[in-house]
Chains A and B, each alone.
Chain A
Amino acid sequence: MFWFLLITEKYPNNSHLSIMKLFSKKYLIISVVLILGLVFLNLFPNVSKTLENFIFKIFSPVQKLFIKTGNRITGFFQILLSIKDLGDENIQLKQKNIELETQLSELGEIKKENETLRSALNFSQKDAIIYEMASVIGKNIAGGQDWILVDKGAENGVEKNMTVVSEQFSLVGKVIETGENFSKIMLITDKNNVVAALIENKRSEGITREENGSDKIFLDFIPKNENVELGEKIITSGMDSIYPKGILIGKVENIDLSENQLFQKISILPTVDFNKLETVFILKSR
């Protein structure tokens, strides 16, 4: 009340600044209609979901185009900046490719052997997973990189808590909200998204979480006596009953063995570049 009187006393005659003008009939009506509208939309979530769906449908082609164009433009500049490293990177990638092809053929043999043994021991097949491909059509508009919007929803059989992976089948996050034709995906970089994980070679289990507002993730609860090496792969352990076991999350980027901590603090370099996500796969069970 004091501030109101102070302001009106200081600016009594200026027609643009008098607070009393804001309480004119027209603006009171607008305020009341706005408040009633917002209350209505919040009381009837189906109506707001329908409106949300409609708005996403209109804006999604535009956003998709803008995200793709933005990725191409920034990708072009990144190539220019990293041009001198391309030669070395090419040699490393060729070598890695040969190693992976060798591993793949070994794994193919192991898979055959596994199938033979399963058949012989009469083990039932695990539920097959159906992958629903979806395009990224939006992001957190207000800034921050904790969730994305994709163009598949309840109509396509998408449900809450379904796992989402990238084109390279690395972990992206999980579905947190579905509409008819869209879904919101919470990324693993969101502070509320905790993933049960393990170090692939060591099989030490822990959980991943976002590192205090930095958008980096780290693996917690790994004992200090565990000899972890840089570059080791971190995969999902399946212990949280949300994410299936064996999905690649990232690699060990840094290890902090400070004396004042009970466990090692392992920073993870995610495999997925969340800035450049355009296509994802939603894991649906049969």
Chain B
Amino acid sequence: MSKTIKIFLLISLVLFFQVGIFPHIAILGVYPNLILILIISLSILKGFKESLLWTIIAGLFLDFYSLSNLLGISVICLLIVSFVAFFLARNIFKKTNPSSVASVFFLTIILYNILLLVSYKIIGNDFEIVFLKILINVLYSSIISVPVFYMIKKLFPVIKP
């Protein structure tokens, strides 16, 4: 299967589940951000630099589909999270077993939520901190991220350091 078809298939699947399926299986109105999971996966598998363009595009996409007044918040947050994921995967959790993968996702998703919170507070957007929702988001996303990661791993070979 050519790289272009793989990418098209992946994006279609992510979008389908993100807008078509997950809203129906939300917990307290919260469901995983598959685009965030996709970017973290690509950063772990392909490296930060190789996934840079996808990170920027995904961030812009998230910004357009948000109520934020400032364009670029999601781009910057995703870039930071993508780098941290890459760093953790290459240095701290070196093996790609399920527990290491889940740990990287757990930490980076927490970081993403914190970065968004801080960014919205700085620009003055009214962003209510609901810890229960954030906790559910982190746990739900971390559980979903492991099978998603391995699915993406099948589509894209790992670039060894």
Contacts and interface: CB of A to CB of B under 8 A. Distances in A.
Interface residues of B, number: 46
Given A16-B161, A30-B52, A70-B19, A140 B65 contact: yes
A51 B22 CA distance: 27
Contacts of B161: 14, 16-17
Contact of B28 (A63, A146, A213): A213
Interface string B100-123: 000000000000000000000000
A13 interface: no
Contacts of A52: 64
Contacts of B16: 66, 69-70
A192 B126 contact: yes
Interface string A49-79: 0011001100100110011011101100000
A147 to B, nearest CB: 6
A224 interface: no
Looking at chain B's contact residues, the main secondary structure is: helix
A141 B70 contact: no
Interface in A111-145: 138-145
A143 B31 CA distance: 5
B84 to A, nearest CB: 12
Interface string A91-125: 00000000000000000000000000000000000
Contact of A189 (B29, B30, B62, B126): B29
B67 A42 contact: no
Contacts of B19: 63, 66-67, 70, 138-139, 141
Interface residues of A, number: 49
Contacts of B126: 192
Contacts of B47: 16
Given A140-B66, A143-B30, A38 B72 contact: yes
Contact of A17 (B29, B91, B132): B91
Interface in B68-125: 70-72, 74-75, 83, 87, 90-91
Contact of A213 (B32, B33, B71, B130): B130
B6 interface: no
Contact of B75 (A34, A66, A147, A215): A34
A164 to B, nearest CB: 16
Nearest to A64: B19
Given A70-B16, A213-B130, A141 B65 contact: yes
A67 B20 contact: yes
Contacts, number: 112
B24 interface: yes
B67 A63 contact: no
A3 B20 CA distance: 43
A63 B28 CA distance: 23
A63 B87 CA distance: 34
A179 to B, nearest CB: 10
Nearest to A72: B20
A194 interface: no
A214 B28 contact: yes
A265 interface: no
Contact of A144 (B21, B29, B49): B29
List the 4 closest A-B pairs by CB distance, nearest first.
A70-B20, A213-B130, A215-B29, A38-B72
Given A275-B23, A275-B26, 8 more contacts: A17-B91, A30-B52, A41-B72, A142-B66, A145-B23, A146-B67, A147-B67, A192-B126
19 contacts: A42-B70, A63-B19, A66-B19, A67-B19, A67-B20, A70-B20, A140-B66, A141-B35, A141-B66, A142-B36, A142-B66, A143-B32, A144-B29, A184-B67, A189-B29, A192-B126, A214-B28, A214-B29, A215-B28
Interface of A: 11, 14, 16-17, 22, 27, 30, 34, 38, 41-42, 48, 51-52, 55-56, 59, 62-63, 66-67, 69-71, 73-74, 138-147, 149, 176-177, 184, 186, 189, 191-192, 212-215, 275
Interface of B: 12, 15-16, 18-26, 28-33, 35-36, 47, 49, 52, 56, 61-62, 64-67, 70-72, 74-75, 83, 87, 90-91, 126, 128, 130, 132-133, 137, 161
